[in-house]
Amino acid sequence: AQRVTQPEKLLSVFKGAPVELKCNYSYSGSPELFWYVQYSRQRLQLLLRHISRESIKGFTADLNKGETSFHLKKPFAQEEDSAMYYCALFTGGGNKLTFGTGTQLKVEL
């Protein structure tokens, strides 16, 4: 069965420091992976998807099939990055997204 693991419940960094939010997955098929973000008092929204290979708000994520990881990175954290981040795995056969437990990112001044 598919599974998404986010080992950190809370990650606290200083403004300007690098950020890495960890995500590991288990899935026997070809994975489609996503990062969703929820800012305070806002709805959950898509941040980025691995097949786009794009950078959104300075964040990037590379799919590493050998390590079954999809870590989210940003070189310099900003205060506005403080939010809850969820990694998600799409399994086409099941037509659904499986979410991790989320990591709360707190950027301190």
Binding residues for other proteins, per CB under 8 A?
6, 9, 32, 34, 43-46, 49, 86, 90, 95-102
Q: Which is nearer to other proteins, 15 or 96 (by Cβ)?
A: 96
Q: Which is nearer to other proteins, 32 or 69 (CB)?
A: 32
Of the candidates 16, 11, 12, the one whose C-alpha atom is nearest the C-alpha of residue 87 is 11
CA dihedral over 84, 37, 99, 108, signed as positive or negative: negative
- Pair 17, 76: CB distance under 8 Å: yes
Minimum distance of other proteins from residue 48's CB (angstroms): 10
Name which of 75 and 82 has its Cβ closer to other proteins.
Answer: 82
Asked whether the beta carbons of 90 and 4 are under 8 A apart, the reply is: no
Shortest Å distance, C-beta 46 to other proteins? 5
